[in-house]
Structure 1
């Protein structure tokens, strides 16, 4: 990868990687640190990273660093509210729907939440998600299915129906 291609990767993918990490961590500063270190790692290994695979490489590195961070700090329930971290992202949902969706996502474990975010928010296919998370394609499908069932059960419960 050339320096110009690296700069193009920064322009193309930095927002997507940041959005993915901040949605999982719900902590802006930690997400920025993880995204920056992912780009640093790609810079150090730019000779071996193909430009066509740079997006997958970045998401894989960022995901692994996020998991390491969660293990190191041992904090799953972070204090910042998700709505503050997505002010620039436009959603056409009511605040009540957003709140219910975020509460449902927060009830999932970190693996399930990451899989839902990668599939439904970022649009990756099962094979790409498997490469990013280190799971095989069958595991991705099973965990994603279970996560969606948990989301559905939470969202259709009488106290959460809007």
Structure 2
């Protein structure tokens, strides 16, 4: 991949990569950092990347950087979150989108990623497999399991009421 091809790839796919990462972590600053790390990794290996597969390489790299970030964050707790756990209250309010986001956050990282790529970004199973390094059938299984979990989670009366 040449410098021009690299720049063109970044220009064409920057918004999509950023949106994908932001949908998963809900923090603009961290999403920007993850995307920047993905660009850096892609640049370090640009001579070995086929320009025709630049999009797939960029999303795969961003996906793996995101997974590394999520694994690191899993072991740390923010002070804001720790304080919120002490202030629990029950309310009679139900917003389906809020419930859906809570359910998505409970999914395993792999299922969450493939579900977001398929349902939010609209990628085909084959493209998701290329981005994540999974087989197409494994992508389908993860999406099926994620959707099954979401269906069961949302249908529970105690969650909706």
- Shorter-normalised TM-score: what interval? 0.7 to 0.9
**Partner secondary structure for residue 135 of structure 1:** coil
Greater C-alpha Rg: 2
Equivalent-residue separation in structure 2 for 1:62 and 1:134 (angstroms): 12
The answer as to whether partners of 1:24 and 1:110 remain within 8 angstroms in 2 is no
Q: Identify unmatched segments of 5+ residues in structure 2.
A: 82-93
SS of match in other structure, 2:95: helix
- 1:102 corresponding residue in structure 2: 101
Deviation of 1:143 (Å): 1.5
Give the structure-1-normalised TM-score: 0.78
Residue 115, structure 1, aligned to residue 129, structure 2:
no
Q: Cα offset for 1:108?
A: 1.2
Residue aligning to 1:83: none
Corresponding pairs, count: 148
- Greater helix proportion: 2
Per-residue Cα deviation, 1:80-99 (whole angstroms, up to 9, x for no partner): 9xxxxxxxxxxxxxx93421
Deviates more, 1:113-122 or 1:128-137: 128-137
C-alpha distance 153-60 of structure 1, shift in aligned 2 (>3 A) = same
Indicate whether 1:20 and 2:20 are aligned: yes
Residue 146 of structure 1: how far off its partner (Å): 0.8
Q: TM-score, normalised by structure 2?
A: 0.78
Task: Kindly indicate whether the alpha-carbon contact (under 8 Å) linking 1:119 and 1:129 is maintained by their aligned counterparts in 2.
Answer: yes
SS at match of 1:47: helix
User: Contact 1:104 / 1:154 at 8 angstroms: preserved in 2?
Assistant: yes
Q: Determine the C-alpha separation between the residues in 1 that align with 2:4 and 2:117.
A: 27
The corresponding residue for 1:3 is 3
Q: CA RMSD in A?
A: 2.5
**2: CA distance between counterparts of 1:26 and 1:75?**
18
Residue 142 in structure 1 maps to residue 148 in structure 2:
no
Report what 2:90 is aligned to: none
